[in-house]
Chain A
Amino acid sequence: MENQNTEVLFGLYDDETDLLSAIEVANKEHLDIMDVYTPFPVHGLDPLLGLEESRLHQAGFIYGAIGALFGFSFMTWVFVRDWPTIFGGKPYWSVPAFIPITFELTVLFASIGMVVTFYTVCGLGPGVVNPILDTRITDDKFCIAFDATDMDEDGVDKIKSFLSSTGASEVNTKTI
């Protein structure tokens, strides 16, 4: 993570409506926003930042399908091939009786798979230490961050004036 130091220039806003209107201005001025950090999910943020819809649900469907297939085919193999047993005069391949476990495994595989995928693609997990720009971002501050590593002074000034003119209560830099 610490291969190279990034100089981050960021502004903190007090309200999500200020944040949203500031991003609209930034889009008009073609400023390159590095990331936006908020204390809670702000609705209407994704389209402004041009974030595509998450594909987690597609992954979830695939995991669920694997779970269903695995559960059903495993029970089929056990009761038809590996150890055929008659229960209550029913056929070996007693499909209705397999449904509950197939369903449970579908849900189990989809849930575990999606949660693991979520933390992996977000780069989150036990022991991960991510740089924190400001400790109040998880409290009540809404942050727009710019990568200022290769910026000249004019660029920095432009961003700073953008941040203060759109109502940022604080403008800071931090090297991470």
Chain B
Amino acid sequence: MSAVVSPIREPLILGGKTYHQMTEDICAPTEKTPSKAWMVAFVLAVTLLGVYVFSVVWTIWVGIGSWNLNRTINWAWDITNFVWWVGIGHAGTLISAILLLFRQKWRTGVNRAAEAMTIFAVVCAGQFPIIHMGRVWFAIFIFPYPNTRGPLWVNFNSPLLWDVFAISTYFTVSLLFWYTGLVPDLATVRDRAKGLRQKLYNIACFGWTGSAKHWQRWESLSLILAGLATPLVLSVHTIVSFDFATSVIPGWHTTIFPPYFVAGAIFSGFAMVQTLMLIARKVLNLKEYITLEHVETMNKVILLTGSMVGVAYLTELFIAWYSGYIYEQFAFYNRVMGPYFWAYIGMMSCNVLVPQLFWSKKLRRSVQWTWFLAVYVNIGMWFERFVIIETSLVRGYLPSSWSYYSPTWVEVGLFVGSLGLFSTLFLIFTRLAPVIALAEVKAILKSSGDQYIGENAKPHGDDH
């Protein structure tokens, strides 16, 4: 096609693929008997999911008293997990929406799986506020609907309610965006299948035909959904940060929170994409579609957002000192030197120092290094939320209320178990749908395949 490609661009599809080979490679994981590696991973994931279900049932049966919350620390691991999971859910929409608007071709290799992670991460995130309600069957009270209690309405001025709207809108829009992108690829799977499988995939792909007019509308729809999802994804973590920023607790009451949280969300989201995709590309044999170029590009995003987060940490410290406000100064002194100093060290080292290693091109292009550093980032971002939430609560305005918090086994079980929920959903997804956006990768083959550009390109007389 006539797209002009810079000669220094690296190819994004290796192995001199034809369209048919791409279909074969990318549909293969949905058609073959699962590999041993997949089976082992699935058993582990379901085991963790069992831990999760048990902890949830225990929490609801015994009550919130089974957690170690007290009057000073009224939310802890639950809100930490919530913010952590929502943050992880930001990379998918960033890759698929913002990079679509910026016309970044490399997004096609990873957008499908990253969006799936978004949806599954939001599923995990959404559970925690609901479980924390204790009487989960009253969760419907958070929605404004005509009721027999007055009708008594929810408080539209409350950031917690904004959160309800933000998260549920984000989940819905991500799901629609993801599924609409999936429809043509499910049709590909349908057309390779026979019998019942074909019928089921025909239901799943809505009877897609590939007509030119449908493709035109489909592209139009994708572009506008991307345009809508872009401010949406920025708004979601902004609103999550309002949960804290609009309060008057020193350490939370900060105007820097929205951009700081959004940068952190993208940072942790990309780290999770790296953690899972580096394994998936090996297990599912997709190394020619998720290349080192993809890995390196994502590492650059991690480096950038990690540095932004680092600047935010230092800005917070500086402003706390510069404000001259003793409560703010104490909150930050306590954050660094207080009872949770170890969490602060964990956050600083994992989020600020470790990603700086990505200045080295060699490490950016090393799969092992990337994976380990990405795991560090995931841990660091969990610590960040824990630090912000806990250190601000344990040492409040009233010294008589100072307290300390450590989780019970139920809270640990909920967190570890939610990893199982996430992994189970992701593993099932890799069996049901193509993990790479097949149609979109085919569309960039002529401009990004290694037989057309890069060192090994074959000269094409008529292409110039």
Report which A residues bind B (CB closer than 8 A).
16-17, 35-46, 49, 51, 53-54, 56-57, 60, 64, 74-75, 78-79, 82-83, 85, 87-88, 90, 94, 97-98, 100-101, 103-105, 107-108, 110-112, 114-115, 118-119, 121-132, 135-140
A135 contacts B192, CB within 8 Å? yes
B191 contacts A137, CB within 8 Å? yes
What is the minimal beta-carbon distance from B44 to any residue of chain A, in angstroms?
33
Report 21 cross-chain contacts, Cβ distance below 8 Å, ordered by A residue.
A37-B209, A37-B211, A39-B188, A41-B439, A43-B443, A51-B213, A56-B224, A74-B144, A79-B153, A83-B152, A100-B235, A103-B235, A104-B165, A104-B235, A105-B169, A107-B232, A111-B229, A114-B221, A122-B211, A139-B19, A140-B23
A123 to B442, CA, bound (A): 25
Residues of B within 8 A of A43 (CB): 1, 443
Given the contacts A82-B153, A100-B235, A125 and B206 also touching, CB distance less than 8 Å? yes
The verdict on B322 contacting chain A, using a C-beta distance below 8 Å, is: no
B235 contacts A78, CB within 8 Å? no
Across the interface, B165 reaches (CB within 8 A) one of A87, A105, A125, namely A105
B191 contacts A135, CB within 8 Å? yes
**Interface class of chain B by DSSP:** helix
B218 contacts A41, CB within 8 Å? yes
B217 contacts A54, CB within 8 Å? yes
Closest to B219 in A: A41
Across the interface, A122 reaches (CB within 8 A) one of B162, B214, B440, namely B214
Residues of A within 8 A of B157 (CB): 87-88, 90, 94, 97
A36 contacts B221, CB within 8 Å? no
Across the interface, B191 reaches (CB within 8 A) one of A75, A105, A107, A138, namely A138
Residues of A within 8 A of B156 (CB): 75, 78-79, 97-98, 101
What is the minimal beta-carbon distance from A32 to any residue of chain B, in angstroms?
15
B221 contacts A115, CB within 8 Å? yes
Most chain B beta carbons < 10 A, residue from A38, A56, A74, A107: A107
Residues of B within 8 A of A57 (CB): 220, 224
A104 contacts B208, CB within 8 Å? no
A40 contacts B169, CB within 8 Å? no
Residues of B within 8 A of A122 (CB): 211, 213-214, 217
Given the contacts A41-B216, A129-B202, A140-B18, A114 and B188 also touching, CB distance less than 8 Å? no
A39 contacts B442, CB within 8 Å? yes
What is the minimal beta-carbon distance from B193 to any residue of chain A, in angstroms?
9
Residues of B within 8 A of A42 (CB): 212, 215, 443
B218 contacts A100, CB within 8 Å? no
Closest to B180 in A: A115
A118 to B209, CA, bound (A): 14
A123 to B190, CA, bound (A): 18
Across the interface, B212 reaches (CB within 8 A) one of A49, A78, A127, namely A49
Closest to B155 in A: A87
Most chain A beta carbons < 10 A, residue from B1, B2, B159, B169: B169
What is the minimal beta-carbon distance from A37 to any residue of chain B, in angstroms?
4
Report which B residues bind A (CB closer than 8 A).
1-2, 18-20, 23, 144, 150-153, 155-157, 159, 161-162, 165-166, 169, 172-173, 176-177, 180, 183-184, 187-188, 190-192, 202-204, 206-221, 224-225, 228-229, 231-232, 235, 239, 242, 438-440, 442-443, 446
Residues of A within 8 A of B150 (CB): 83
Across the interface, A104 reaches (CB within 8 A) one of B169, B183, B225, namely B169
Given the contacts A83-B153, A100-B239, A115-B176, A37 and B224 also touching, CB distance less than 8 Å? no
A115 to B224, CA, bound (A): 10
Residues of B within 8 A of A49 (CB): 212
Given the contacts A39-B19, A40-B442, A124 and B191 also touching, CB distance less than 8 Å? no
Most chain A beta carbons < 10 A, residue from B161, B184, B215, B216: B215
Across the interface, B203 reaches (CB within 8 A) one of A123, A127, A130, namely A127
Closest to B187 in A: A138
B443 contacts A40, CB within 8 Å? yes
Closest to A133 in B: B209
Residues of B within 8 A of A35 (CB): 211-213
Across the interface, B206 reaches (CB within 8 A) one of A94, A119, A132, namely A119
Closest to B217 in A: A54
What is the minimal beta-carbon distance from A2 to any residue of chain B, in angstroms?
14
A73 to B173, CA, bound (A): 23
A116 to B440, CA, bound (A): 22
What is the minimal beta-carbon distance from B200 to any residue of chain A, in angstroms?
11
A17 to B19, CA, bound (A): 14
What is the minimal beta-carbon distance from A11 to any residue of chain B, in angstroms?
15
A130 to B232, CA, bound (A): 35
Closest to B203 in A: A126
Residues of A within 8 A of B173 (CB): 107-108, 111
Residues of A within 8 A of B242 (CB): 100
Residues of A within 8 A of B159 (CB): 100
What is the minimal beta-carbon distance from B38 to any residue of chain A, in angstroms?
25
Nearest 10 Cβ contacts at the A-B interface: A128-B207, A140-B19, A135-B191, A40-B439, A124-B206, A97-B157, A54-B220, A100-B162, A138-B188, A41-B215
What is the minimal beta-carbon distance from A59 to any residue of chain B, in angstroms?
9
Residues of B within 8 A of A123 (CB): 207
Given the contacts A41-B216, A105-B165, A107-B173, A78 and B188 also touching, CB distance less than 8 Å? no
Across the interface, A139 reaches (CB within 8 A) one of B23, B172, B204, namely B23
